[in-house]
Each structure stands twice: as structure tokens, then as C-alpha cells.
Structure 1
Amino acid sequence: MSKESRLVHIVDDVPELDVHGESVDGLDRSLTLVLVLDGFLDAGSAAARAAQHLVDLSPDSRVVATFDVDELHDYRARRPAMSFVRDHYEGYDAPRLVVRLLTDTGGTPYLLLHGPEPDNRWEAFARAVRRVVERFGVTRVVSLGSVPMAVPHTRPIAITPHANRSALLTAESPWRGELRIPSSAQALLEVRLGEWGHDALGYVAHIPHYLAQLEYPRASTALLEHLEIGGHLTVDLSGLRAEAEDREVEIARYLSSNEEVSAVVAALEQQYDAFERAEESGSSLLAQDQPLPTGEEIGQQFEQFLAGLDGPDADGEEDRA
């Protein structure tokens, strides 16, 4: 048995997927695998919330592959939660990295690989995912992620598309030239899948960095809108859009009562708009001739903001009850 075989257990009998990846009776039996790894590439929990929304829409989904998390997870760096009830421990939330079989709103089956990003053995993880891709006849892998950026929440959610073949791109990248960035398991997997002849693409949402620690469903909605295009799927976004609207109301309520925070957001709006006016000259999403509030300034201004939205005494809590 190979090391990759020990790293992932794949269900033997999945008749719903037996014909996918082939052309039968002239019909395209394409199959999408959506990839969401929690951790590094998930500012605002945008990708994780998007994945949970997909799972919620398929209550009868089942797990068709399971990864050996003990081989991949650093428990001391990311300690799972558990409960202590008076005099004993219980309710251990064991991390799980699984592949689920879901169906979109049109009844089309697809796969979702989600769970914590592996902390180690990335190459072995990539080879294990390759086994899943080839076993089920996956024709495209679409990854979702999000990063914090110095952008205001009052402007459209920017998305960076990427792919291991240019023909797979569904939108133009906002970046010019080469950027050196920290790697991720998702990024490495896209590279390796391309080397093995498998299509992989993805989308990264730009999250206002002052909201990066807050669940931001508006960005989750934007990611799923792009998934519909790149993954050839249809997704009911009505519930997620309502959730996003509620969060925007909370943010607006706070800004209306805090002039200092509003000033910081206004500065970001000026930068964003200046960049839009001179887009052809920049390799950054920030205008070059506008002062940028420091990270410390942003953090100080929004410390109360984040606590107010997520705390038990948040403004508007009674209104939502």
C-alpha cells in the first residue's frame, strides 16, 4: 500500500459518480471538486462560510473520502476545542478533512473537499488529492480563499482569479507583474495538478483588513458567485445574501456612531477610488499618492467595533431577537 493510500481513504462504491469524467451518449459528464482549506487563506472566514453554505444546501450529503488528519495537523499550533463540564472533559471537536458528495440546485453532483489546511506533508497531501481526482473522474478543481487587503467594505468585493491553464480563467486578474507571496497547500496543489494534467482554478476574495477577524458573508457570496461560473454549478445564495445584508447593517450602524472609524474608512475609499482612476499604472490595489492608515491605527479604531459586533451586548441584538 502506498503512502498516499494510507493518507486518504476513498469510499469504494459511489455509483452517482461512476460515469463522470467521461463522454457518454454525447453528453459531457464533467465533475467539479470544490476545495476550501481553513486557516491561512481564509480572512473573514469567507471561504469557510461559503463551504458551510454549500453543505447546508445538501442536507443528505455523504462523505466519500477521508484524510488522516493525524498525519497532517499540528495540534499544538491549532488546538481543537473541547468542553470542560464541572468535573470532566467532553465534546472534543476533532478536526476533519473530508470530501463530500453534494448536489447543486439543478441536481448536478459535485464534490467538496474541506477542513483544516494541512500543517505539514503538503506534497503527500497533493498526491492524495490526485488519487481522489483520478478515482472519481474530476474534470476541474476550484479552490476558494480570501486575504486581508487595505480596501474599504463600501466598495465591491474584488476577486483575484487564478488557474493552472490560462484558458480556465473566467475573469481578468487585477495584478500586474510578479508578486512573491507566502505559499499555501491550496496553491501548491494547483501547481501539482497542472503538472499531472488536471485542470485547477480558483478565486481569492479581498477582505477589508479591519474585518479580517470577523465572519464576512458578503465575501462568501462573491466567492460562490464566481464558483457558479468557474465550476459550472448553480447555488442558491438567497439565505447567504440575507445574512450578508444583516452584517452590513451592523457595520453601518457602528460607523454612523463613530466618527474616528468613519474617517479611517473614508481614507480607504479615497485610495480605492484613486486606484480605480489610474488602474493601468499600478501593481497594487492602493493608490500611490494617498496616505495609508497604519495597521496599528486600523486595529485601535476597530477593536471596539469587532467586540461590539461579536459580543453578547452587541448593538441591535434586541432588534434581531
Structure 2
Amino acid sequence: MMDHVRWSDHPRLRRPVLVAAFEGWNDAADAATTAGRYLLDRWDARPFATIDPEIFYDFSSTRPQVHLADGITREIIWPSNELSAGTLPRTQRDVVVLLGVEPQLRWRTFCEQVVGIARELGVEMMLALGALLADVAHSRPVRVTGTAADPDLVARLGLERSRYEGPTGIVGVLHDACRQAGIPSASLWAAVPHYVAATPSPKAALALVQRTSSLLSSPVLTTDLELAAADYERQVTEVVESDDDVAGYVRQLEERVDELDEAEANLPSGDALAAELEKFLREHGGD
């Protein structure tokens, strides 16, 4: 099943959670992969395996890159799906981080590799990070929506059961593979303003980092990401205010978001969600 996994180490982990993020369709404004890389760094995760890209990519579409090592030696950098392992601070569990690029080919085989790794390491849950374009205002807190398929997990964490029908990305296929393998899975999706779709959003990345760390009951220091998010908001505001029509449209979005925020004022706290997640995973592990 794991014919395309290249192991550099076989870590022994304590009740690990898998956190995954992919460049591509599921990564509006680079928010999901930025969050994934940030968490990987904060958790001091170390690489232990990669998934060989050879059969999963159309290299005329996702082209490898040429890199000059030491300014002299030419190296080819191929699309990477790298897995790293670390420890979640202040918890009794470890974490596996998968950062990759959405493949073009053989999605079922690709997901078999990920599920095989998860089984090998005893992963208790897969958490995917994503970002999507939406009618939201850059000047308001980023909306992060959680979805899951398991009814118990949905109820305990106050998530939504996905009712989406239509084209899907690798995240959706990976969720289905986890479901068939009996591995609980959930997603966190950050909403990114569609009128700044081409601009990387550290603000959306920050929201994903904070929601993930809260859910896993493992706080991380985010000072530099907070500064980048504030600078992003300031720059976008300057551009918006230079156009009266755009500024008026954004004000309408702000009013709509404010109404939604009032309706969600009584959502459970991050600590409560983390406690429910821990309880769910313990019960699931005992089945």
C-alpha cells in the first residue's frame, strides 16, 4: 500500500494527530500552507518521510524547479509532499504535519499512501487545513469554519456536517479515504476576501493557526504572524479606500459580517472544544 513512501526515519509517536495542508485548489491566498508551515516550525517538527512525486504529477503542468546549490551546482527540486513529526507542547500527544502540493494524477493511490502512513504511526485523527474565497471583508476577523463527517465529532466540537455537492479537491478525497479506513477526520476552512484573491493572506493563516492550536489544546506564539496580519490589513485598506466603489462594497460586506458575528456570540470556548476533542479521541481509541 505504501509503495511510493520514502522513509528516512520511523518515529515512535504518542497518540499522534495528523495535520495536513496542500498547495492548490484548497489553498486560497496561500493561507492553509502558510499556517501549516508556521505550525511545523513552532512544533519543531522534523521530516521523516516523503511521497515520491513521480506518478502523481503532470510535470508539464506542475513543473520542477532548477536550483543552484552554492551558486554553482544545478539541482532539480521536484513537487514535494513531506511528512514531519513533532511534539504538541503542553499535551501528552505528538503531531504529524503533511505539507504538500495537490497532485494531478492518481488521487486514490496518493491517499492510500497517506492513510497507510497514518495507520503505521497510530494516528488518531486527521485535521486538514484549507482556505476558500468568500464574500467577506478583510477588515473583520477571519471566519474559520470546521467540518467533519463523524456525527459525534460534529456534535461535540460544534462543527458542521458538510453538505457540499460538486467538484472537490484532494482534501475532500483524503477525508473519504480516512472515513473508509476508520480514522476520524475534520477540516478547518478560513474564508478569504475574494477581492484580494491573488494576495497571500497572513491574516487568514493566523486564524487557522490559532484555531488549530486551540482545538489541539497546544498554544503557540504568533507575534510575528500577528504583525504580518496587521500590515496586510493596513495595506489592503489603503487600496480599498482609494476606490469609492470598492470601499462602498466592502462596507456592505462589513455590515453583513457584523450581523453574523452577533448571531454566533454564544459559541463554545476554545478550551471547551479542546476538552471535547480529547474526550472524543480517547473514546474512539478505546473502540
TM range (shorter): 0.7 to 0.9
Q: How does 1:81-96 map to 2 (within 5 A)?
A: 81-82=65-66, 90=74, 92-96=76-80
Query: Aligned partners of 1:131, 1:9: CA distance in 2, in Å?
Result: 12
Q: 1: CA distance between counterparts of 2:43 and 2:212?
A: 16
Q: Which 5+ residue runs of structure 2 have no aligned equivalent?
A: 265-287
Deviations 1:144-168 (A, max 9, x none): 0011012211222222211131222
Taking the aligned partners of 1:104 and 1:197, their CA distance within structure 2 comes to: 23
Task: Tell me how far 1:105 sits from its aligned partner.
Answer: 4.0
Equivalent position of 1:112 in the other structure: 97
* 8 A Cα contact 2:11 2:85, kept in partner: no
Alignment of 1:242-321 (within 5 A): 242-273=227-258
Indicate which of 43, 59, 71 corresponds to 2:55: 71
CA-CA distance at 1:141 after TM superposition: 0.7
TM-score normalised to structure 2 length: 0.80
Matching residue within 5, 9, 15 for 2:6: 9
Aligned to 2:87, which of 73, 78, 103?
103
Given the two structures, how large is their TM-score scaled by the length of structure 1?
0.72
Q: Deviations over 1:195-247 (max 9, x none)?
A: 22111111111111112211101111111222124334332222211211111
Please say if residues 10 and 132 of structure 1, whose CA atoms lie closer than 8 Å, have aligned partners that are also in contact: no
Measured in 1, the distance between the counterparts of 2:125 and 2:11 equals 18
**Corresponding position of 1:233:** 218
1:128 counterpart = 2:113: yes
Q: Return the offset for 1:31.
A: 1.2
Q: How many Å separate the matches in 2 of 1:277 and 1:105?
A: 33
**Contact 1:104/1:110 (CA < 8 Å) preserved in 2?**
yes
3-state SS of 1:242 partner: helix
Residue 151, structure 1, aligned to residue 136, structure 2: yes
- Aligned match of 1:40: 25
Change (3 A) 1:33 1:275: closer
One-letter code of the match for 1:145? G
Structure 1 residue identity aligned to 2:27 = D
| Alignment check: 8 A CA contact 2:31 2:201 kept | yes
Structure 1 Cα separation of the partners of residues 77 and 53 of structure 2 = 13
Task: Answer 1 or 2: higher relative contact order, Cα 8 Å, separation at least 6.
Answer: 2
Show the counterpart of 1:137.
122
Give the direction of change, closer, same or farther, for the CA distance of 1:81–1:181 in structure 2 (3 Å limit): same
Q: Structure 1 residue 10: deviation in Å?
A: 3.3
Q: CA deviation at 1:142?
A: 0.5
Distance 1:51 1:263 in 2: 34
Contact (CA 8 Å) 2:147, 2:159: kept in 1 or not?
no
Aligned partners of 2:207, 2:238: CA distance in 1, in Å?
23
8 Å CA contact 2:62, 2:79 repeated in 1: no
Given that 1:32 and 1:111 are in contact with CA atoms closer than 8 Å, whether structure 2 keeps it comes out as: yes
Q: Look up the match of 1:171.
A: 158
Q: Residues 236 and 133 of structure 1: is their aligned pair in 2 closer, same or farther, counting only changes over 3 Å? A: same
- The answer to whether residue 195 in structure 2 is matched with residue 198 in structure 1 is no
Q: Distance in 1 between matches of 2:257 and 2:46?
A: 43
The one-letter amino acid of 2:28's match is: A
Structure 1 stretches of 5 or more lacking a match?
A: 21-29, 280-321
RMSD: 2.8
Q: Percent identity?
A: 26
The amino acid of 1:116's aligned partner reads: V
Residues paired across the two proteins, number: 259
Q: Distance in 1 between matches of 2:133 and 2:94?
A: 32
Distance 2:263 2:206 in 1: 28
* Residue 62 (str. 1) matches residue 70 (str. 2): no
